[in-house]
């Protein structure tokens, strides 16, 4: 919720907010990472193969645990946490700053305005964090290669960074940044705006006070909105980032539009929502862990509610 002291906090305590955001994001990412791995596997399954055998989240989990053990469910966790040390503080603190600077605290901000602010904050954050996101996707895809009896491309996040720069150039770290930024705009448009708006609605209509109940209800609404809006862009982003180079140095997809057209033509329109339920199953708990811990830490630190 916005308050008269919010703009003052934005000016004098940004470092504290960044630290609290990073801590909460790391906790949420660690708690829900296996679901993100399942989602990525589902999105890559049957890539551009019309004869691919159907799969499911249960089958994906079974294959991972049988061949790699339970630790295989956390393959790629380190770059995921590194990514959130950049991505989440920029988007959360940036959104709050823009929200409080653009409109006086005594005036309500409309949902469309919040959506635009959330989208812009997400794009900026994602461009900065895109290299870590790329490494996370590649390492998650590597675990699938290992389960198929193939050698992994990378032996850790730093090895992945080095090999990507050496073979694809420094700019290769931002492969897929356009669909990544598109997804980030949609995710944060749904997530931040809907959380902010739903929380205000719940509190102002006396459904719950500014506590864990209001945060839980708001996170459910924002998670569903963010998943519905972002799932197609997420599928395209995942495939664009996972592709290496084929014969003669050519990539499988020329750009995000080519990836979209090829995916729909070969696998059907429904493919764009592959991994929808694992994505929602992750976004809901992720937002619950993040927002509950973040709001609580803000309270302990003497900061006003988000």
Q: Is the dihedral of CA 262, 266, 272, 275 positive or negative?
A: negative
Per DSSP, the three-state class of 207 is: coil
DSSP 8-state symbol, 93? H
pLDDT score, position 104 = 65
* Residue predicted with more confidence, 125 or 160: 125
pLDDT digits (tens, 9 = 90+) for 255-299: 878 888 888 888 888 888 887 887 787 777 888 899 889 988 988
Q: Is pLDDT above 60 for 80?
A: yes
pLDDT digits (tens, 9 = 90+) for 187-241: 898 889 989 999 989 998 889 888 888 888 888 888 888 888 878 877 887 787 7
Q: What is the pTM of this model?
A: 0.72
pLDDT score, position 125 = 94
Residues 126/133, Cβ–Cβ less than 8 Å: yes
What burial class does residue 287 get, using C-beta atoms within 10 Å of its C-beta: 0-12 exposed, 13-18 middle, 19+ buried? buried
In angstroms, rounded to a whole number, what is the distance separating the alpha carbons of residues 221 and 232?
19
pLDDT score, position 82 = 84
Choose among 294, 93, 108: nearest CA to 212. 294
Residues 37/64, Cβ–Cβ less than 8 Å: yes
Choose among 107, 130, 96, 125: nearest CA to 13. 96
What burial class does residue 20 get, using C-beta atoms within 10 Å of its C-beta: 0-12 exposed, 13-18 middle, 19+ buried? buried
pLDDT score, position 4 = 46
pLDDT score, position 21 = 94
CA trace torsion 296, 302, 305, 306 (10° rounding): -90
Average pLDDT over residues 62-82: 81
Which long-range CB contacts under 8 A does 62-68 form with residues at least 24 apart?
A: 63/147, 64/37, 64/143, 64/147, 67/146, 67/147, 68/143, 68/146, 68/147
Q: What are the structural domains of the chain?
A: 6-300 (1.50.40.10)
Q: Is the dihedral of CA 226, 232, 235, 239 positive or negative?
A: negative
Q: What percent of the chain has pLDDT over 70?
A: 86
Average pLDDT over residues 53-78: 78
Residues 172/130, Cβ–Cβ less than 8 Å: no
pLDDT score, position 105 = 62
Mean pLDDT over the full length of the chain: 81
Q: Is pLDDT above 50 for 116?
A: yes
* Residue predicted with more confidence, 105 or 35: 35
pLDDT score, position 69 = 81
């Amino acid at each position: 919720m916005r308050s008269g002291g919010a703009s003052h906090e934005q000016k004098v305590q940004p470092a504290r907010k960044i630290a609290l955001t990073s801590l909460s994001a790391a906790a949420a990412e660690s708690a829900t990472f296996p679901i993100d791995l399942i989602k990525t596997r589902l999105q890559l399954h049957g890539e551009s193969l019309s004869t691919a055998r159907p799969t499911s989240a249960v089958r994906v989990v079974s294959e991972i645990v049988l061949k790699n053990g339970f630790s295989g469910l956390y393959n790629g966790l380190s770059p995921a946490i590194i990514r959130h040390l950049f991505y989440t503080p920029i988007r959360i603190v940036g959104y709050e700053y823009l929200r409080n600077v653009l409109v006086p605290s005594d005036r309500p901000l409309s949902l469309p305005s919040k959506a635009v602010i959330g989208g812009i904050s997400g794009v900026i954050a994602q461009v900065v964090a895109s290299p870590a996101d790329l490494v996370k996707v590649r390492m998650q895809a590597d675990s699938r290669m290992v389960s198929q009896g193939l050698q992994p491309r990378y032996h850790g996040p730093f090895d992945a960074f080095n090999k990507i720069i050496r073979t694809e150039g420094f700019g290769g770290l931002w492969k897929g940044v356009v669909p990544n930024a598109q997804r980030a705009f949609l995710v944060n448009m749904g997530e931040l705006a809907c959380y902010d708006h739903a929380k205000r609605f719940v509190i102002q209509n006396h459904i719950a006070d500014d506590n864990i109940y209001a945060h839980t209800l708001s996170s459910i609404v924002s998670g569903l909105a963010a998943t519905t809006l972002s799932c197609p862009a997420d599928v395209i982003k995942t495939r664009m980032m996972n592709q290496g180079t084929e014969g003669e140095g050519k990539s499988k997809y020329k750009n995000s539009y080519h990836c979209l057209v090829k995916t729909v033509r070969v696998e059907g329109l429904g493919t764009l929502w592959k991994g929808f339920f694992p994505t929602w199953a992750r976004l809901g708990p992720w937002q619950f862990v993040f927002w509950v811990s973040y709001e609580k830490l803000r309270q302990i630190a003497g900061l006003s509610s988000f």
